[in-house]
Structure 1
């Protein structure tokens, strides 16, 4: 079962997408900041994908988190989301899904990555 790290500061959104992913068969780890996400990635070696919002409190936003993941954990897949304008650039091989999104669309996007079915 692939493990997904959901990084979202809005608890209701984080719970919603986590429930959708769990129902789809993914193991889900939830955190509210990029700093917490880095701590999880440093402590665990079983994270397959990071699903991150861009706008979050803390020392880095979701784009900086995505760049750090790409640099430090290249095999980890990345999906970035925001309710604002699409960022001009995202890390190589990352996907962007605008908010609001349907949970099933997130699941479908995750399954396009290798080893995520």
Structure 2
């Protein structure tokens, strides 16, 4: 049996993280979740193999989605990244070869975005 691609989902809205995780799992992905940037950074620092980072930009705490992606890329330079936001007054700081998805979105759009990035 081949391993399923693992996606780290970083989202502070519990209901949304559950819906997205269920859609990704149904599409054949393994999902690891984090409610804050700090929790995501801890998962990344533990060197758990991650095939895709999916992160909301606005997160509670000191690490926003931009910082989480920058941290992830420092550890895994080729890691595909999908950012999501409903609104961000900040200047985008996307890492190269990433996608930005605006809220509201259909969870199936995240599966499509992952596949566009070559994951799954």
**Pair 1:16 & 2:4 matched:** no
Poorly superposed stretches of 4+, deviation over 3 Å:
85-89
Residue from 66, 70, 81 that aligns with 1:63? 66
Structure 2 alignment gaps of length 5 or more: none
**Pair 1:38 & 2:26 matched:** no
Does 81-90 or 47-56 show the bigger shift? 81-90
- Asked whether the equivalents of residues 58 and 88 of structure 2 are also in contact (C-alpha less than 8 Å), the reply is no
SS at match of 2:78: coil
SS at match of 2:95: coil
Provide, for residues 59-91 of structure 1, a one-character-per-residue CA deviation record: whole Å limited to 9, x for no partner. Answer: 211111111112222122110001004853411
Provide, for residues 82-108 of structure 1, a one-character-per-residue CA deviation record: whole Å limited to 9, x for no partner. Answer: 100485341111110000011111101
Cα RMSD after superposing both structures: 1.4
- Asked whether the equivalents of residues 48 and 75 of structure 1 are also in contact (C-alpha less than 8 Å), the reply is no
Number of aligned pairs?
A: 116
Instruction: Please show how residues 88-103 of structure 1 align to structure 2 within 5 Å.
Output: 88-103=92-107
Q: TM-score, normalised by structure 1?
A: 0.91
Q: TM-score, normalised by structure 2?
A: 0.89
